[in-house]
Amino acid sequence: MKEYDLLQQALFELAGIDHLAFDLSKPYWKFKTYKKGEFYNEYQNVCKHLGFVIDGVFRIYRADEKTGEEKNMLFYSNGQFVASYKSFLNQTACDYYTSSMNNSKILYIHIDHLQALYRQSHSWERFGRIIAEIAYHQVISNTEGFLFKTAEERYIELMKQHPDIFNSVPLYHIASYLGIQAPSLSRIRKRVVGR
């Protein structure tokens, strides 16, 4: 399937964007490839683009200014929309980095074009609402996960959301996302696989 076909299918499934509404947006979507480690958005920059992941994995993380330790917050993989949502939705400086975990491909749209689509089409306006709801849900789910779930439960959820993540992401990044050390992740993986 071509990149634009994948995007159109995802938009239809997510927000009911039909062919006519999709055609309004076609001139605005741009294709880009990212090398492993390349930034989608950097710390203190305003996130101006919403991306659709065609192939690859992106992570949102924060680096401790004193120690350099990185803490992963979210992953985005094939078929998902990627942005530093707080920065993107509010057009404020970003508190995090967003980078590619491997060689990746996306289609992306500038916020100005997306807002123009919101004014032109109720379908696109619905899409904007759904994207904001998804961002909210991700943050709440992560917060609740750390407060009320075990690392193993969070690991199982991660596997459901990103089934191929172990093919693309080093274990120490997954351990960071789960808030545990690599040896604990190895034990969890053995227990889950042993079931």
17 has a pLDDT exceeding 90: yes
Is the distance from CB of 113 to CB of 47 less than 8 angstroms?
no
Q: How confident is the model at residue 1, as a pLDDT?
A: 58
For residue 77, the cross-strand partners are 57
Contacts of 167 (CB under 8 A, 6+ apart): none
> Which secondary-structure segment (H or E) carries 152?
helix 151-161
Number of domains present in the structure of the chain: 2
Portion of the chain with pLDDT greater than 70, in percent? 99
- Clarify whether residues 156 and 71 are in a common domain: no
Q: Is 30 part of any domain? A: yes
What's the domain range around 26?
Answer: 3-130
The dihedral region occupied by 54, where left means phi > 0, alpha psi between -120 and 50, and beta the remainder, is alpha
0.75 surpassed by pTM: yes
- Clarify whether residues 114 and 24 are in a common domain: yes
Q: Is 139 part of any domain? A: no
| 41 or 139, higher pLDDT | 41
Could you give the CA distance from residue 59 to residue 72 in angstroms, rounded to a whole number? 7
Mean pLDDT of 59-76: 90
Last residue of a domain, one of 130, 163, 179: 130
pLDDT digits (tens, 9 = 90+) for 111-160: 999 999 999 999 999 999 999 999 899 889 988 988 899 999 999 998 88
pLDDT digits (tens, 9 = 90+) for 168-190: 888 899 999 998 988 888 899 88
Token pair, residue 137, equals 């849900």
